[in-house]
Structure 1
């Protein structure tokens, strides 16, 4: 008996261990959609390690930039030449790791990576040739940095050329104490080695994995679906917790992000599950997201309702089964709940509204179980078949609502570009192409950082210039640039502390130093999207190790790096604030207009479906358009919301602005969900519904136009009472039927958009009165 009990306990413990491991693995997958961060970090570190090895071999056999002699000074100079050669190759592969994913076609990507060392070589030659003419050399560096901004106009090609020219010029300053233009042949060879390793890494590590992106993203989607269900269980356990409700909503937003990323990859001709088309996989993902969002929404309502313990237990068990990704138990519990609700003694204890919500919850979890089972049955082709190129017939190609940039959603780049080009009520000069604005700002900031950095240190001023350069990279507007500059300084300070400690521990042990560099680089790149401070910290640790190997390390040197970084970041921040600023409020207004336009289209199409009796069908495209616009708005407001310290305003936009837009998006998703079960609304009520919808669309248009004007006298007219009138005239008034839920959702959307209008300081009127609702 004791032996049997011990076996049982052992089995239980092993099961719990496996469950814990699976749970943490799912969290890991969910935190990194498509393992994009992990793949980039691994590729960069492997490439850097490879190029260091190849460059070391090149140094051992070719002895580039080395001089003859047995003195300690000659040995130190030769060691520095070897280290700098490795650094040149590492710079090529690091830039290539970020540039490669920007090209959608393999051929273009390979050509772009081949162009990078060429551009860097031109920059190196300019830096070496002008090292004795300091003023001209500094002017060239300013032009190179500003040119990187102007070259943004040409997308990935401009990025490669701009990065190459500036980083090459930066490297030329570094190499100036080792050689002059007579050594450019050796430098060209070292850059070519870096380019060859970068291309090999793309061919071996990056491009084959592009075909399996959908498979990885689908895993991330399911992991985030588990997180939504877990957050919903938390809401059921703690119905009064605002933190639990907020966490549940955040998980839903992240789930939507994964779904959009899958859609974007489906449009890029990826490998799909055997026997499945891109359109079918999109429908599965859309149905799964909608069903789970419905179940989570209904569970939130059930959490605060008065229901029997037996019913509440089944609701919770269903969501727990969703967390465990077990479609059979989910389906079984959903059906058991539905049968329980049909029993007279149970239904008698529940009011009609809650009873309908419970039925809808059961239907939603059953629908989720069915689509989850369908997804689980899908199998992808073997690896060798998957990486083999193939063509998809034109009629089977999938058209997505969004395209990825470097493997991620575009964020605020599109709305920032629109805001930059638009004429506003401020000044004609502020209406510029984004590349022109960036080029001017980067040139001004470079001039400031060069002058200020040179006053601090004539030998280390380029750290200030580098800090200015990276502050502008990957940032689209003033708020993003200010935040990145702050993270650059914070990360550098932390990197100085950790770098000094590691420098003392490692000393001049070359293998250990390389290991420290690779580990810190991996962590910095992997955590960079969480906070840029991690990447800045890792680069500072790398620099500390580099100077240890060059026998130039000192505490004063690291202090100088902090000071120069602070100067460079401050120059960038001051420039984006005072020179042709693209302010957050301006970008958010553009993002809000695009969101409202997508919202109006969704409402119109949904009501059209309700009028025709087709419910929520045919709404995938407009739903995804709204999701894309919402994600852009979320990204545009993210820096300001993150930096918000006290209640009030952020970036010129009231806090309630984001809350109202967030609510409108949630209500719109509820509308799509409720429309699925809605029967047709026809006759006089249908005609009134059309009038109410037209009134809402007109009001949203007024709001959109008002947001486009610097000062507006336009008015948002409420339409909620028109939808309420339709609801009262229907024969199901007083009951929580699908038709009534749809009409309630429309009223809530009107309320959210009216709140947004108030937050934007736009007058709001009731539909049947001239009295302003302020």
Structure 2
């Protein structure tokens, strides 16, 4: 379809190849490892694995050395020190050296205190069980008070578990404390040496991830324009590319600083703006290419489009200006067709879409060039960069049901003793589930009853609905089985007598598990069980290994299911309520966009952030999608065609909100009468959104309010503005009014689906 000879010359002169552009490793051509950056913007997952590797190697080496120096059993030294490395890697994610030091050096104190307490019990079963149940409930209670309190609770629980597993006598607790303290200090030193936070480098890597996703969209568009392409396959590929682009963009935006807290507020805001505009242009190109797949595109126009999209895909972004001639060529081809009165209707429609692609390519060149240049020149020091979270991320991922669940609990209207429910709800779940599980798992194996408690703990951490807990149960079971098979195979391969090989497998399993955990919880379980098999082999013969691993699977599964049942029955949090709160949060975010449009038009000097408000709508949509998508389809409930239709409507509304945020960001100079009419449009839409919010908040079957359409007002305003002279501001105002009209249409359908009269 295209040949090298059809591509315009994009070479740059020394004057245009300015040195202040983004580094070549950000804006350069494709590389074989780009897929890693696209899958993990900022390399947060890879850094988690690297932290685990550094911490585990350091802690195990120090633990073994300290056991030799203090004349204690090597197993005790390895277990005590290994817990320091494991918890420092997973529970300590501070990004300043003083916070990192405070958290890591604190861990040995609560850990060793419960080691001593466990040793004084001298194997008494009932007190040990009571302590374990108490420590587990206390861990969830302390989680409300910040990272240090959470670390304290986790170290108390882990110390009791290690104390019972290793059977450390009271006479060795002092030496165990020395091992823990020295290993924690060593882990701190290696973390500072090999894992020091570098936000500027993270920013450059996130830029590269966006570049990769942009090229994927362009490549999908090239594929869609091929005359011989399978239309259904091309559309699926484009939708997948646009979905990945949006997830990556919102995740990257979550890593950028809000202007209020950035070292350079102006630079931070510009980063937001350029990133938003670049994504909007790419989405428009992708959607136009999808529409063109159903039309007969004239061959000259098809070739011009292909040339422009190939350039967008392959041109290094330091030479992004080379897209402008291609964009102009596309527009010329489209105008030729539009000027021909004999052009068929299909060709005219294709030319209109192609002209839009040309405009978007021109906008993309400007946005990407400005964004990459700003990202390179925004700061000079490795830590002095506007790079803090704006969209709230959890473990470098978009948050799921946690936000809506927290809002439901925080908005409780209970009186009397029930006011404490938000504070004790999860600790009570943990305590009751542990009290049920302990006797059962103790009857199965008195020496390993805590495996059931581990199942309780992992179920209640990071989950908010029954569907999420059942999904975690499935991941835990599958991961345990796969990890057991791999662990036994590696055990047979390396044998039991090679200490260093065994330690290498343990470290590798934990490292790979930490790297994959943010993708799928089962990946972490596989790595953990592979490591544990090597540890169990030190005290368990081959004949008993299968029974031991089956027992672990049973105990873990029992703990997960009992904890899930307790969470569903004791102070339950209805999934329907969480879904409604997520949708309410979306409506509130959208209302903020409309209110900022009104403020932008009425007060040009007001510090509004339309693109930032639209990005919050993206994040709110992600939360709605995560809570509406269950593990199992139920015959009745919030999941079904109606719920899927509502999510589709919200997805459409989000697209209109993005376009509105860009189009409405202009100074509007209207006559007082027209300005008042524009204010009535935005005020009317805001009022309807507030009615919808109130309907969700009240939960009434018969709502008092209704959705009042503003489309008639918009059409009247458009009719009065039609005779006005055309210009860039007039065109953008017309676009903003069209987006407001489309938003009103979409949200009216959504309100009707939700039960609010229209």
Q: Which residue of 1 aligns with 2:60?
A: 52
Residues 94-493 of structure 1 correspond to what in structure 2 (within 5 A)? 94-101=86-93, 103=94, 105-176=96-167, 179-237=168-226, 239-240=231-232, 243-264=236-257, 277-305=267-295, 307-326=297-316, 327-343=320-336, 348=341, 349=343, 355=351, 357-377=353-373, 386-387=381-382, 401-423=390-412, 434-493=422-481
Specify whether residues 362 and 480 from structure 1 end up closer, same or farther in structure 2 by C-alpha distance, changes over 3 A only.
same
Task: Report the Cα distance in structure 2 between the residues aligned to 1:243 and 1:620, rounded to whole angstroms.
Answer: 37
Aligned partners of 1:507 and 1:548 also within 8 Å: no
Aligned residues of 1:584 and 1:637 also touching (Cα < 8 A):
no
CA distance in 1, matches of 2:119, 2:155: 15
- Deviation string 1:380-403 (CA, Å, 9 cap, x unpaired) is 5999x744x66x8xxxx7896435
Q: Which residue of 1 aligns with 2:571?
A: 580
1:47 to partner: Cα distance:
1.6
Look up the match of 2:8: none
Shift of 1:656: 2.5
Conservation of the 8 A alpha-carbon contact between 2:598 and 2:683: no
Q: Does the aligned pair in 2 maintain the 1:678–1:738 contact within 8 Å?
A: no
The SS at the match of 2:447 is coil
Answer whether contact 1:598 1:625 (CA < 8 A) is retained. Answer: yes
Structure 2 distance, partners of 1:258, 1:424, is 34
The 1:489/1:20 distance shift into structure 2, 3 A limit, reads farther
Contact 1:125–1:181 (8 Å) recurs in 2: yes
**TM-score (norm: length of structure 1):** 0.83
- Aligned-residue offset at 1:240: 4.5
The reply to whether residue 85 of structure 1 matches residue 53 of structure 2 is no
**Cα distance in 2 for residues equivalent to 1:93 and 1:228:** 41
The Cα shift of 1:371 comes to 3.1
Correspondence for 2:519:
530
Report the CA distance between 1:646 and its aligned residue. 7.1
Which residue number in structure 1 is paired with residue 13 of structure 2?
Answer: none
Higher relative contact order (CA 8 A, sep 6+): 2
How far, CA to CA, are the matches of 1:584 and 1:96 in structure 2? 34
Asked if 2 retains the 8 angstrom alpha-carbon contact of 1:128 and 1:175, the reply is no
Residues 279 and 684 from structure 1, CA distance in 2 versus in 1: closer, same or farther, beyond 3 angstroms? Answer: closer
CA contact (8 A) 1:92 1:191 kept: yes
Could you report, residue by residue, the CA deviation over 1:481-539 in whole angstroms, capped at 9, with x for unpaired residues?
33223322221122222222222222212222222222222221111111101111111
Alpha-carbon distance in structure 1 between the residues aligned to 2:562 and 2:556: 10
Q: Secondary structure at the match of 1:764?
A: coil
Question: How far does residue 469 in structure 1 lie from its aligned partner after superposition?
Answer: 0.9
Unaligned runs of 5+ residues in structure 2 are 1-26
RMSD of the TM alignment (CA)? Answer: 3.6
Q: Any idea what SS the aligned residue of 2:757 has?
A: strand
| Counterpart secondary structure, 1:549 | coil
Distance 1:631 1:263 in 2: 14
Cα deviation, residue 38, structure 1 = 0.1
Q: Do the aligned residues in 2 keep the contact of 1:302 with 1:357 (CA within 8 Å)?
A: yes
- Quick check: 2:599–2:608 contact (8 Å CA) kept in 1? no
Q: Summarize deviations over 1:345-398 as a string: whole Å, max 9, x none.
A: 766537677655443332221122123334455685999x744x66x8xxxx78
Contact 1:117 1:195 in 2 (8 A): yes
**Is contact 2:267–2:378 with CA below 8 Å preserved after alignment?**
no
Would you say 1:659 and 2:648 are equivalent positions?
yes
State the distance in 2 between where 1:347 and 1:466 align.
73
Contact 1:231 1:247 in 2 (8 A): no
Contact 2:334–2:352 (8 Å) recurs in 1: no
Using the TM superposition, name which of 438-447 and 133-142 deviates more: 438-447
Match of 1:36 in 2: 44
**Structure 1 contact 605–619 (Cα < 8 Å) conserved:** no
* Residue 20 (structure 1) shift: 13
Which residue does the alignment assign to 1:726?
Answer: 716
Over residues 554-612 of structure 1, what are the superposed CA-to-partner deviations in whole Å (9 max), with x where a residue is unaligned? 11111111111111111221122112222332222222222211212212333555678
Query: CA 1:244/1:685 → structure 2, altered by over 3 Å: closer, same or farther?
Result: farther
CA contact (8 A) 1:415 1:632 kept: no
Q: Kindly report which structure 2 residues correspond to 1:622-771, keeping only aligned pairs within 5 A, or say none.
A: 622-635=610-623, 637-638=625-626, 640-641=628-629, 643-645=631-633, 649-650=637-638, 654-675=643-664, 686-714=675-703, 715-719=705-709, 721-723=711-713, 725-726=715-716, 729-730=719-720, 732=722, 739-760=733-754, 762-765=755-758
**1:667 offset after TM fit, Å?**
1.8
- Count the aligned residue pairs: 712
Alpha-carbon shift at residue 336 of structure 1 (Å): 1.6
Q: Distance in 2 between matches of 1:671 and 1:590?
A: 25
Take 2:465 and 2:413, find their aligned partners in 1: how far apart are those partners?
16
Cα distance in 2 for residues equivalent to 1:742 and 1:305: 27
Q: Secondary structure at the match of 1:654?
A: helix
> TM-score, length-normalised on structure 2?
0.84
Distance 1:90 1:21, change over 3 A: farther
